[in-house]
A and B are shown apart, each in its own frame.
Chain A
Amino acid sequence: MIRLKDVKMYFQSRKGLFKTVEIKAIDGISVEIDKGKTLALVGESGSGKTTLGKLTLRLLKPTEGRVFFEDLDITDLEEVYLKSFRRRAQAIFQDPYSSIDPFMNVYQIIEEPLAIHHIGKKDERKKMVQKALEDVRLTPTQEFSKKYPHMLSGGQRQRVGIARALILKPEYILTDEPVSMIDASSRVEILQLMKSLQEKYGITVLYITHDIATAKYFSDRIAVMYSGRIIEIGPPEKIISEPIHPYTIKLIAAVPEPDPSNRFKERGVVDGEPPNPSDLHWGCRFESRCNLKKEENCKSKQPTLVEVKPKHYVACFLKEKDKS
């Protein structure tokens, strides 16, 4: 459904009065999302995952490479032609406090996509909005329709965002950290709601998150990003129980599980910080923090994704030799 081919995204940023630096947010990614499936994109801050999400919706134009939506090449389309594409591809954003207009009430917010794309007449729209509110369980719908965002909790606002994204019956939805700004106890509920709606309507989803634990339960495939590249991709259970890339191994080890014996031992963590995207070296991006014994390619060439186990790909010169 969604396909990215050798996509690169470089930003120019001014440093000082005359110098500009190039920020390599995405440095060569090819990935596909199958129709009706959820791909989880897991990464830490600076990995480029949000940028990748924006590329799939053409909120950014890639510096290099091509972006396909089904058979449509949306890489270079003008905004005018993108409008029909936008009807089929929607998004749910991270910040429920700023992604919905505080000056519109719930009805107007959810109705807006219908107005933009000239769908339906007044009473038809009313029915559609009502159905959307029921879908996200904001009932009684009459009461919620009249409320303004500041009268709702974070979780409720996010449901409004979900309803708004769904009302056009899109084929693809980008969800960028949809629950990271919501209370821990409400997160699972929202994620389960999203999953049930996805199954009900057969929507293709890109789920961007830094929380790999939720990715396990709410995706069909997990891709791990590091410093602008996908370094591992495969089925959720395999990625989590048998991670291959050294970064993925450390990432999973860093996630706290509720175990009282945790406090007696230190976790094995990666030292240092992710590299600065404006100052990248040749070779594998993870090399400076990698604790494995290096081979000659590690410092000079970038590893590409290689299928090491069935449907399980890794980008690492050392690990690609462990093909099974």
Chain B
Amino acid sequence: MGERTRSTFKELLSTGSGKAGVIFISVLFIISLGVVITYPPDFGLKYWSNPVLWADNPRAAPPAWTNLFTSDDKAETIILETSVPSERIPGIGTGIVLYTFDFNYNSDEAPTFTSMTIENIRYNNRPPVLTVNIERPDGNKIELFKLIVRGPLPDEEAPFTRFGETPFRIQFSGDTSVVGSVSNFLKQKFNISMSNQDLLLSGVDTVVFGIPQDDEKFEVLKGSYKLQVEAFLYDDDDSIGKVKFVLGGSVFGFMGTDTLGRDLSIGLLFGFPVALFIGLVASSITTVIGTSLGIISGYMGGKTDTLIQRAADIFTNIPLLPILIFLAFIMRPNLLIIILILTVFGWPGLTILIRSMVLQIRSGQLVESSITLGASRLRIMLRHIFPQTAPFVFAQMIFFTPSAILAEAALSFLGLGDPSLPTWGQILEYGFRNGGIFVGYWWWILPPGILIVITAMTFVLIALGMEPIINPRLKRGN
């Protein structure tokens, strides 16, 4: 048996398409394996459907590497965080803790948003007060925001914790007090009045990080900035867990983000094992059922044949779409149900085809000669009839795999898929739904499609490479 597998493998690798197919599918498997190992099992619910986790990502941002190809320097996302204060200034009765971030800003455009996240504040008596300000390269300092932590509630006991489970997050670009501060800054330093609405429209960050021009536009002020959080802590063991600033870029990550800000590279990677799983499982089960029933039906004839064929007829004639819509209505579809549906509606086609192949084989003298030798029915079906259908069956299985993947993508597209899991189909669907084509979110629409194509192609290459092994007639003679 080992000898057989080794020689099979050698034959597979001997053809160009076989080699390519093996390489591709190894890559697919390695990636899938990596994903299965590193991703948490409840990835779908906990991460992909959890808005909090990607709050700090830019929305609908192209991949970071596109910045290399554009003439202007796009804003890249800058993340500044620390758990350790930069300085402690002892004071009268109170202490001031400073969290200082120095950074250089050199893009040709202002950040798309600025956000601050504070985690885990503990205090014993009086709640801390935090002030956020930013010092620009031109020397101007803006006080952006003041946070007064909530005092103790009647039934609380010291020490008091705030923002432990749910961190405090504020997006400056959308906060009214920040807008007010910035508006004041504009009037004082540059003598420009802008209403709050106008400020919101043009974006607070363009002002904070920019210099006003004559035409009421702002040009980015490049240089070194200092973001600082001044925290007044009234007790020595009052503490702040983590301070984080995110300056949103207009490009992000390896594959960009969708309109919810989700990192597409994470989602697309997840699609690898899911696609392989759906494809291989659905097509294996369908093929096994379809082939067995086809061979039994064709060989046994009589009532068995009639029964199986009528069952196949019934299933082929059931309209798939209304059933799916109905099912989607009464229960939330998950991956296994989708595979079940693909299987249940996939087997009849194969059965009918295999049956006619079997009938043809029976008309030759092979079956007769096998009966004469004393072979049992099972032996004839397995050893003589099945191998003659095997090339076809195998090709069907290999071609059904991408079909299954596409079917799932189509179902997702129609909104009948499993929305908690980021399959390639789901990502595509979300992209289309958000007008990806019209607005031009190419990094969102193209990759899932390309990945589906590559996966399908892989299986085709393998099928081509496997041909001479399955069908000895294609083997070379002497």
Contacts and interface: CB of A to CB of B under 8 A. Distances in A.
A151 B373 contact: no
A86 B369 contact: no
A116 B379 CA distance: 9
A105 B473 CA distance: 11
B302 interface: no
Given A87-B374, A95-B364, A103 B369 contact: no
Contact of B472 (A90, A100, A102, A113): A102
Chain B: number of interface residues, binned into ranges: 20 to 34
B365 A148 contact: no
Contacts of A113: 373-374
A311 interface: no
B371 interface: yes
Interface in B37-74: none
Interface in B335-381: 364-366, 368-369, 371-376, 379
A70 B376 CA distance: 24
Interface in A93-118: 93-95, 98-103, 105, 112-113, 116-117
A101 B374 contact: no
A116 B383 CA distance: 11
A86 B374 contact: yes
Contacts of B472: 102-103, 105, 148, 150
Interface in A54-83: 57, 59, 82-83
Contact of A148 (B374, B379, B384, B473): B473
In this complex, the member of B366, B369, B478 whose beta carbon has the largest number of chain A beta carbons within 10 angstroms is B369
B366 A101 contact: yes
Contacts of B374: 82-83, 86-87, 113, 116-117
B475 interface: yes
A91 interface: yes
Contact of A103 (B372, B375, B387, B478): B387
B477 interface: yes
Chain A: number of interface residues, binned into ranges: 20 to 34
B189 to A, nearest CB: 87
Interface string B373-404: 11110010001100110100000000000000
B394 to A, nearest CB: 13
Contacts of A91: 369, 372
Given A59-B371, A59-B372, A151-B477, A98 B365 contact: yes
A151 B478 contact: yes
A112 B373 contact: yes
Contacts of B383: 101
A144 to B, nearest CB: 12
In this complex, the member of A57, A89, A98, A164 whose beta carbon has the largest number of chain B beta carbons within 10 angstroms is A98
Nearest to B371: A59
Given A83-B374, A91-B372, A99 B365 contact: yes
A101 B372 contact: no
Nearest to B369: A99
A83 B375 CA distance: 8
A167 to B, nearest CB: 10
In this complex, the member of A91, A98, A103 whose beta carbon has the largest number of chain B beta carbons within 10 angstroms is A103
A105 B387 CA distance: 13
Given A116-B379, A150-B473, A100 B369 contact: yes
B315 to A, nearest CB: 27
Nearest to B472: A148
B4 to A, nearest CB: 12
B7 to A, nearest CB: 12
Contact of A59 (B366, B368, B390): B368
In this complex, the member of B383, B387, B388 whose beta carbon has the largest number of chain A beta carbons within 10 angstroms is B383
A163 to B, nearest CB: 13
Contact of B372 (A90, A95, A98, A102): A90
Given A83-B374, A90-B373, A112-B373, A98 B478 contact: no
A161 B370 CA distance: 11
B473 A93 contact: no
Contacts of B365: 93-95, 98-99
Given A102-B388, A148-B472, 18 more contacts: A86-B374, A90-B373, A91-B369, A94-B365, A95-B364, A99-B366, A99-B368, A101-B383, A101-B384, A101-B388, A103-B388, A113-B373, A113-B374, A116-B373, A116-B375, A116-B376, A117-B374, A161-B369
25 contacts: A59-B368, A86-B374, A87-B374, A91-B369, A93-B368, A93-B369, A95-B364, A95-B365, A98-B366, A99-B365, A99-B366, A101-B366, A101-B384, A102-B388, A103-B388, A105-B472, A112-B373, A113-B373, A116-B373, A116-B374, A116-B376, A116-B379, A150-B472, A150-B473, A161-B369
